[in-house]
Amino acid sequence: MQVSVKTFDELSTEELYQILRLRSEVFVVEQDCVYQDVDNKDQKALHVMGVKEGELVAYTRIFKPGDYFNNVSIGRVVVSQEQRKYGLGKQIMQASLAAINQRFPKQPIEISAQSYLLKFYTDLGFTAFGEEYLEDGIPHRRMLKE
């Protein structure tokens, strides 16, 4: 998988389409969750894209402190269903953490994690805090990596 990191203005129309399609395939269709994915936050985000054979297969978006949470944050972590068995979730998160370390060194990173993925994020160095809550009808926990 080849990873690139781009601002919104650097995205091509095709890249933006692939991002929105992948997020819709997983978060709306697969997870059967009706929510507003196109949320006017993409314009502020850094977009971390994992591509295999010309197709977007993994993605996250990164926000600087204050644009989503008070801390740097990672969101919309997604891997296409047919590619999950290859460890691409870990790879795209490691690439996201590296991008944050380069742009926002030594800053805490906060995420809103789907509860069933707590072990995945714990293995990446995140620690859960606060109570579980529903976000778009799906149980989540806040997590922090110092």
Q: Tell me the per-residue pLDDT of 70-111, one tens digit each, with 9 for 90 and over.
A: 999 999 999 999 999 999 999 999 999 999 999 999 999 999
Structure confidence at residue 98 (pLDDT): 97
Distance CA 49, CA 73 (A): 16
Dump pLDDT digits (tens) for 101-145. Answer: 999 999 999 999 999 999 999 999 999 999 999 988 889 999 999
| Burial zone of 52 (CB within 10 Å; 0-12 exposed, 13-18 middle, 19+ buried) | middle
Is 105 within 8 Å of 146 (Cβ atoms)?
no
Query: Looking at the predicted structure, is the pLDDT value of residue 7 above 90?
Result: yes
Dump pLDDT digits (tens) for 18-55. Answer: 999 999 999 888 888 788 888 999 999 999 999 999 99
CATH architecture of 2-103: 3-Layer(aba) Sandwich (3.40)
Structure confidence at residue 49 (pLDDT): 98
Is 33 within 8 Å of 39 (Cβ atoms)?
no
| Chain length of the chain | 146
> For the residues 56-76, what does the mean pLDDT come to?
96
Structure confidence at residue 53 (pLDDT): 94
Structure confidence at residue 34 (pLDDT): 81
| Token representation of residue 102 | 């380069």
Distance CA 57, CA 91 (A): 11
CA-based Rg of the chain, rounded to a whole angstrom? 14
| Token representation of residue 40 | 């006017």
β-pairing, 109-114 vs 72-79, is parallel
| Token representation of residue 134 | 């529903």
- Closest of 91, 90, 94, 129 to residue 112, by C-alpha: 129
Structure confidence at residue 27 (pLDDT): 87
Structure confidence at residue 36 (pLDDT): 82
Domain ranges of the chain: 2-103
